[in-house]
Structures are given as structure tokens and as C-alpha cells.
Structure 1
């Protein structure tokens, strides 16, 4: 398991990061003082009505929705954007509920053909790359699988705010299973983890400069093919999975779809895009519409 980074010393150059992190920490502490069933909707409300609009997330989500879903009315798109922010807030505090959330997910039985394939691969020492997007709460399935004894590793991307990043990494470590930073620091660790027959969770639904242009939701989008490349290089299974938030706002259906057949990285990644797009169409408010996903400028 990787060590959590230490926050830098305070200086005039990073005072903005320090103050914004102080606000975030205050919200986290306030929320964690509440019972779980009040905590999760409270932070969902804060993100939907306060932080999301202030940060410009609501506007960006609406712009993306107007571009990708022009078939919907403006009120429908606005409702999806609000649902997106609410889900993001719930996900955030769930991941900081390092005891309550994993305990709840321990009683969740994953569904779908990919679960049996995962069990068989783990029994035979075959590596598995579990792939999803910023949808529902992607950590829910990892927590459910770790509770069943799977050695599920995670990758994380360092946040721009170093003060926030220091405690954010600790939340990922608290779920169990090794976690690795993206980039050179983490590459050796997660490659070794895969070679030893471990499982790794990857999120693939953000714009990556220079990545191949594939279709996502009917629009060109640069999409990283690294998950498929890893599956091919180490003869591992590539399994799409989703943690679908249920109507009560607190529980999840954890679904592991059938493994993507091996072919070539772009064909396999397009299958992942199509799989995620189907989930986004079925549950549009659970995907993070805030990302600048569609920036597929021509090379």
C-alpha cells in the first residue's frame, strides 16, 4: 500500500489551496458528526445547492448536457445536472465514511456474469482489470469485493490541492487493498500486483491528451486505451463494472458485466465506452457530467 503524501508547509503561494481545503475539512467534520443516514443526503444537498454552483460545476454539466443530449428539454437537462451534483456530494462523504461505508458494502452481493468470471480468475491466479467510470459511487463495488477477500488495488490521480490530496489518499487506503498513484511512482507497484494475479480498478472516462478518438455517447472523445493494453499485455480479464445508486440514495446494486473479449486496444476500449454509455443513458444523473470529456480536437 502506498504512503499518503504529506501536505506542504503554508506559504503565500498556496494560501488559496489551504483555505479551500479548510472549508472542505469543516464540511467533512460536520457531516461525520451526523448519523450516516443524515450525513450522506446532507453533503449531497451542500454540493447540489452550494458548492457545485459556486465552483461552476452546475453550469459545466448543463453545457455538456445541452451538447450531448439536445433531445431533452432544458428542465430535464437541469434536473440531471442537479442529480449529478447531488450524487457527487453523496459519493464524496461516503468515501470519507471509512468505517460506515465499507461495513454497509460488506453485505452487498455483486451481480452479473463478470462476478463469476472474477471468482474463477482469482482462484486460478489470472490478473483482472476492473474498469468503470465516474458513475454512481465506483468505490462501492471495490469495497464489496474487498470484503469478500479479493485483493482489489486502486489507482488514484493526485489532486491539484496538495492539502486536500493528503487526506484524500488516506480515504482510498482505508477501504483495503493496495492503492497506487498514477504515473511513474505507481506503475511498478500495480504492474507487480497484476503479475501476481491481483485485481486492479481503473477509471477510464476522462479526456486524455493524445489518446485515440473514439465514440462516447455519439460524440468523438479522446479515450485512454491503457486498461485494454494492460489486459492484453498480462493476459488478464477486462471486466466493466458499475455501482448503481438505488432510489433510497444510500444503497447500491453492484454489477460486473461479462469480460470484454481480447482483440486490439481500440476495439476493446470502444466496447467499454459503449458499456458506460448504456449505463449513463439508463441513469443519467449518476454520471459526472462536470468533466470536460469531449475535447477531441484533431491532431
Structure 2
């Protein structure tokens, strides 16, 4: 079912800095030489036509795959997660991952004003869940929006903002001119930024202001993680989303941007109600597992669009 026409993007979106530590988020400014070279590369990328960008995407992605950059990690992950697939199928998926990552990187670095906004053509997969999210946001409270390193999560954030969801992105510290451009594009789209230190409290404050929080829930963390099933194996996962849901008593939704050719469909599931205390149960881990399972369902359908290059099962659960 097609979503309704989107409102026009604001001409001067407000810049909301949820975190007071902006310098810690975007890092120190690059030096003169590295800044000049980086800006030169970014200007060249911004001037490419869509067709030229696509040629570049396949060249860069194919080259990274050919050189074997983290290819062994990707194939090991795929063998663990998708043993039912043949080796040839897993190799084809791995190659597709490099193309996806190259495309995502190029789109994230290109001039924000030159990317063609085809968002109004996108469909919503899970219209009932989308309607529930809109109804919740209309009450004046924000929501917890969970995604993964899938498709182009940066563009997906922009789509949600265009659809009227005030958004704050939970980000890691970024360094260098390239990452600075990504942070600038996030701010230009109207998103606020939340720094990991103190993230739960800032998330709670944003929710009460009526702003939703957008976070990635598919990376291994070395400490303070909860272990939940992911493709049949326990994976260390941040409990921040579930803790924030419990403190704010707002539900979570899983949102994923599924690529189909030049389009991106918004796949949404939820709401996942906030965890309620139950004697003898670890409700934070249960809630995290429910949301992680929803991420897995989408990744299984389109495995070439997820970042298998990351060691998701790097940390073993306690004995």
C-alpha cells in the first residue's frame, strides 16, 4: 500500500543538538591539507550524475570484494547465520554486501542538496504499524525507532523526518572530514544528535519533548550488553533501547529501509510495548530479543543489504 504524499521538506530545518558535547560527537576539525583533499573528493562526488555514481559504486564495491577486505569475516558470519544456503549463494550475498556498503557510503557523502528526493515514490511495508506510529506521535510523545546497518540507514532517517517524525539519532563519536560530512548531513536533515555517554537520560528527555529517537541495534558491544538470539546464536546487544522504553513507557518500532532498484521501501513493525516488571523475568533482555528478532526477519529476506562485515558474535556469553 502506498503511503500518502509527503510534506515538502523544510527550507531551513532546525538544528537540534540533543547532546551538549557536539565537539565530542563530530570530532576535531580536520587539518588544512586533509580538509582540502577531503572537500575536493566530496565536491567531485557531489557533481556526479546518478548513472556515474552507480558505476563508481560497483567499481568500489567490486574492488573491495576482490581485494578481500573483511571478506573472510563476511563469509564466516554467513556460514554461521545461513548454513542452509549453499557456499555459492553465500559468496553472492557477500559480494552484494560490498555493493550495498559502497552505495550507502557514496550516498551519505554526496552533497545533501543534490541527492534526488524519490522518497514520495516509496511504499510502506507494514501500513498498520506505520499508522500506529503516527497515532502515537500525535499524542505529543516521541517513540523509539530501531534499525540496523541495512540498506541506507542514513537516508531512512531522512525519510522519517520528511514524514513528520521529529528525530534524534544516537551516534558514536566521529572523526575526520569524511565523518564530519555525515554528521553535517544529519544535522541539515533536521535530526538531533545523541552522544552515547548519558544516552539513556538524553533519550528520555527527547521522548518527553515529543521527539523520537533513532538507534542502531545490530552491533556487538564489549560490556554491559545483554545476550539475545540473532540468527540462532547469542549476540551481545545494547539494552539502552529497552531501558529507555521502560523509563519512558513508550513503545518501540522497528524501521528498515529496503532497497528495490533505485527505490527504498520503508518496512516497519510494531509497536513493541515497553517492558513491564515481572517477578523472576529479565524483561529488559526479553524486550531486546523481541526487537532483535524483528530485525532478523527483514535481514533474512534481504541478506545482501546487511553489513555482514561486522563481527556480530565477537563476544561470548557468560558461562
- Taking structure 2 as the reference length, the TM-score comes to 0.80
* 2:292 paired with 1:270: no
The corresponding residue for 2:305 is 286
Task: Note closer, same or farther for the CA distance 1:65–1:25 as it changes in structure 2 (3 Å cut).
Answer: farther
Write the distance in 2 (CA, Å) between the matches of 1:298 and 1:147: 40
User: Of residues 79, 84, 89 in structure 2, which corresponds to 1:76?
Assistant: 89
Distance 1:55-1:188 versus aligned 2 partners, 3 A rule: farther
Aligned with 2:219: secondary structure? Answer: coil
Distance 1:44 1:71, change over 3 A: same
1:251 aligned residue (259, 263, 280): 263
State the 1:188 CA deviation.
Answer: 5.5
TM-score by length of 1: 0.85
The structure 1 segments of at least 4 consecutive aligned residues displaced by more than 6 Å after TM superposition are none
Q: 1:99 aligns with which of 103, 108, 113?
A: 113
Match of 2:221 among 208, 215, 231: 208
- The superposition leaves residues 126-166 of structure 1 with CA deviations (integer Å, 9 ceiling, x where unpaired) of 2200001111112333222211322111121124x434332
Alignment partner, residue 103 of structure 2: 90
Unaligned runs of at least 5 residues, structure 2: 1-15, 276-282
Cα distance between partner residues in 2 of 1:174 and 1:59: 37
**Residue 30 of structure 1, aligned match among 44, 63, 77:** 44
1:37-52 matches, within 5 Å, as 37-39=51-53, 41-52=54-65
Deviation (angstroms), 1:265: 1.5
Q: Distance in 1 between matches of 2:311 and 2:208?
A: 33
Partner of 1:7: 29
> Does 1:129 pair with 2:144?
yes
**1:71 Cα deviation (Å)?**
2.4
CA distance in 2, matches of 1:37, 1:228: 42
Q: Does 1:225 align with 2:239?
A: yes
Q: Is the 8 A contact 1:220 1:294 kept in 2?
A: yes
Q: Taking structure 1 as reference, are residues 101 and 108 closer, same or farther at Cα in structure 2, changes over 3 Å only?
A: farther
| Unaligned segments of structure 1, at least 5 residues | none
2:167–2:211 Cα contact (<8 Å) kept? yes
Please give the alpha-carbon distance, in whole angstroms, between the structure 2 residues aligned to 1:219 and 1:103.
38
Equivalence for 2:176: 162
CA-based RMSD = 2.6
How far apart are 1:74 and its partner, in Å?
A: 2.0
- Retained in 2: the 8 A contact 1:107–1:144? no
CA contact (8 A) 1:127 1:237 kept: no
> Which residue matches 1:199?
212
What residue number does 2:72 align with?
A: 59
2-side partners of 1:165 and 1:57: how far apart? 21
How many residue pairs end up in the alignment? Answer: 286
